């Protein structure tokens, strides 16, 4: 077997562009999914029952579906039901944002609920308004617990963007597999793809571990 690693260098530009789209997609998804998660958590914790139920239903639905299925379903169902033709990138963004919002909603809810009720009650008794209690007592503490979990979700999201290659979004996995099928340098391209993901993902995983050590709750 002869290996020709030159193919990787020849396509370095395309791979870099693919990696760029991977990062862009992950960032855009998170930017949508953080407000989405906040909204879901607020709905879930609100005393208005229909809102809480709708949030729980949404969360459970997307937590219990394979992401790949959500991507395919979005690809086929979105244009047929809305009549708008979405670009593959936009379709991927919708599918990923739905999925990650559900997880973020749970993260925010758990973070807020982890702050004992006695603290908000004490703050209310001291004459703080509900908004003040949230802003000055609950959220600063909850944020420390939410940060590491959010980082884990980010690492998962970063890896999950590879799944949108099935609907031809030109991110890293799609680009590498396209060059593979055009050049027939299977081993070289797939190894390069794995190596790039590793190089991007490894520091993120380590950083997440550090966040857990720094902010993790110890009992």
Partner 1 sequence: MEIDLDFGPLIASWRFLLGGLGLTLALSALTVLCSLVLGGAVGLARCYGPRWLRWPLVFYIDSMRAIPVLVVLVWGYFALPLVSGVTLPPFWAALAALSVHIAAYVAEIVRAGIESVRPGQTRAALALGMSRAEAVCQVVLPQALVRMLPAFGSILSITIKDTAIASVIAVPEYLNCSQTLAGQSFRPIEVWFVAMAVYFVILFPVTRAVDIAYARLASLGRS
Chain residues binding partner 1 by CB under 8 A are 1, 60-61, 63-69, 72-73, 76-77, 80-83, 155, 159-163, 165-166, 173, 177, 180, 186-187, 190-191, 193-194, 197-198, 200-202, 204-206
What residue has token string 């797939």?
Answer: 190
Tell me how far, at minimum, the Cβ of 124 lies from partner 1, in Å: 28
Q: Which two tokens stand for residue 167?
A: 């609907």
Residue 138, number of CB atoms within 10 A of its CB: 20
Residue 121 C-beta: closest distance to partner 1, Å: 23
Token pair for residue 137?
């007592």
Report d(CA 215, CA 219) in Å as an integer.
13
Please identify, using beta-carbon distances, which residue of 122 and 199 lies nearer to partner 1. 199
C-alpha torsion sign, points 202, 206, 209, 211: negative
Nearest approach, Cβ of residue 85 and partner 1 (Å): 14
Among residues 140 and 203, whose Cβ is nearest to partner 1?
A: 203
Min. distance of Cβ 138 from partner 1 in angstroms? 22
For the chain, what is the total number of helices (H) and then of strands (E)? 10, 0
Q: Which is nearer to partner 1, 14 or 177 (CB)?
A: 177
Distance CA 169, CA 69 (A): 16
Closer residue to partner 1 in complex, CB, 126/187 = 187
Cβ 80 to partner 1 shortest distance, Å: 6
Of the pair 55, 161, the CB lying nearest partner 1 is at 161
Q: Which of 125, 72, 63 shows the shortest CA–CA distance to 95?
A: 72
Nearest CB to partner 1, comparing residues 53 and 69: 69
CA dist list (Å): 3 to 24, 191, 195: 32, 11, 16
Question: 202: which residues sit within 8 A by CB, 6+ positions away?
Answer: none
Q: How far is the CB of 93 from partner 1 (least distance, A)?
A: 18
């Amino acid at each position: 077997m002869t290996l020709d690693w030159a193919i990787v260098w020849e396509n370095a530009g395309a791979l870099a562009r693919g990696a760029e789209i991977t990062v862009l997609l992950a960032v855009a998804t998170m930017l949508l999914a953080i407000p989405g998660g906040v909204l879901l958590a607020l709905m879930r914790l609100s005393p208005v029952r229909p809102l809480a139920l709708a949030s729980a239903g949404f969360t459970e639905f997307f937590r219990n579906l394979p992401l790949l299925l959500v991507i395919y379903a979005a690809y086929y169902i979105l244009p047929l039901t809305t009549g708008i033709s979405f670009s593959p990138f936009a379709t991927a963004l919708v599918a990923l944002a739905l999925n990650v919002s559900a997880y973020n909603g749970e993260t925010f809810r758990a973070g807020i609920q982890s702050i004992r009720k006695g603290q908000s009650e004490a703050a209310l008794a001291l004459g703080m308004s509900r908004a003040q209690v949230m802003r000055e007592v609950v959220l600063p503490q909850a944020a420390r617990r939410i940060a590491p979990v959010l980082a884990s979700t980010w690492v998962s999201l970063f890896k999950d963007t590879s799944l949108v290659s099935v609907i031809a979004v030109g991110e890293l996995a799609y680009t590498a597999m396209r060059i593979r099928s055009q050049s027939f340098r299977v081993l070289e391209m797939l190894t390069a793809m794995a190596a790039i993901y590793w190089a991007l993902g490894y520091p993120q995983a380590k950083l997440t571990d550090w966040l857990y050590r720094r902010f993790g709750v110890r009992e």
